[in-house]
Amino acid sequence: MNILITGVAGFIGMAIAKKVLERGDSVIGIDNLNSFYDTKLKKSRLLELDKKGNKNNKWNFIKGDLKDHDLLNEIFKNYTPNIVIHLGAQAGVRYSIENPKAYINSNLIGFANILECCRKNEIKNFIYASSSSVYGGNTKVPFSEYDQANHQVSLYAATKKSNEILAHSYSHLYNIPSTGLRFFTVYGPWGRPDMAPMIFTKSIFSKQKIKIFNNGEMFRDFTYIDDVVEIIFRLIKRPARKNKDFDKNNPDPATSWAPFRIFNIGNNNPISLMKFIKALEKEIGIEAKKEFLEMQPGDVKSTHSNNQLIREWTDYEPTTKLEDGIKKFISWYCSFYKNDY
């Protein structure tokens, strides 16, 4: 297989690229290495991929932006991928309030450019990152793909929902097998510094106050990176198919008459932020300093993934216990940031 991965210097992008290379397939990676968070971490992830891929010349990295349609056309022409895993996007709920243009450029224009390249090159399997944030104002839990998700509460979430809609239209018009993945708070080694696990850990080590929003009444379905990678790898081998029983009078939001699927990728086990912090404190051996604050605009109180569909489709669902995931995460963190403390 010849697999193109966008956002390859990102957390999930690097992890899936590493597994694909270990299995002997070719990876073409694209990333613009923007400064949304520490570029040192992104470059270190690429170095890890260099170790895996350069031994057999199956790893090619191109620094480029998804807005650059001409560059994307050239990459597809030169490397002829047959599978695309699109993980490149501007991430972050709160940052979307500060800098909406970045989300329009990357998550909408960039996504449309990738879809056009998939259309022109008859891609056999298109897998892309959506987000659990698309459930927005939904209060029925666990979140199910069968539920309507039409009331997003952040621009970031709105762009991810837009991605799903755009992908469906291309699946319908051009028969592109498209699979959208609604990720639920992914954590683990090589994680994102802007997400709670990394922010909390850094604050604990540096003895700075942890900002805990909604006065601690927050729950997240923390999902370990290795489980996420295993699911994506299985989806590579099982592209979306048409739902032959699709009823247009009673439409199923998770499938279509077109080759289109939506899946939750979560742990089906929401954990309170306070419990998560306590697990970090126990593993690190330092008690956190805490500052309790009101809910932030764009945030939701709780996320909880229903895993029925992904379990049925891949015969797998996340299994890593929180304590085990945190142990591996803190071990990596101490090794990578050993000179910072």
Q: Of 119, 78, 83, 98, nearest to 36 (Cα)?
A: 98
CA angle 149, 150, 152 (to 5 degrees): 95
Looking only at the bridges linking them, the beta strands covering 209-212 and 125-131 are unpaired
Contacts of 5 (CB under 8 A, 6+ apart): 13, 16, 17, 20, 27, 28, 29, 30, 84, 85, 87
- Catalytic hit among 37, 103, 135, 156: 156
Structure tokens that stand for 57 in this block? 């010349």
Kindly provide the residue ranges of all beta strands, DSSP E only, lying in 93-169, ordered along the sequence: 125-131
- Check if 156 is active-site: yes
Contacts of 256 (CB under 8 A, 6+ apart): 168, 171, 172, 242, 243, 246
Q: Are 113 and 72 in contact (CB under 8 A)?
A: yes
The rounded distance, in Å, linking the Cα atoms of 195 and 50 is: 26
> What are the distances in angstroms from CA 328 to CA 51, 108, 166?
21, 35, 37
Catalytic residues: 156
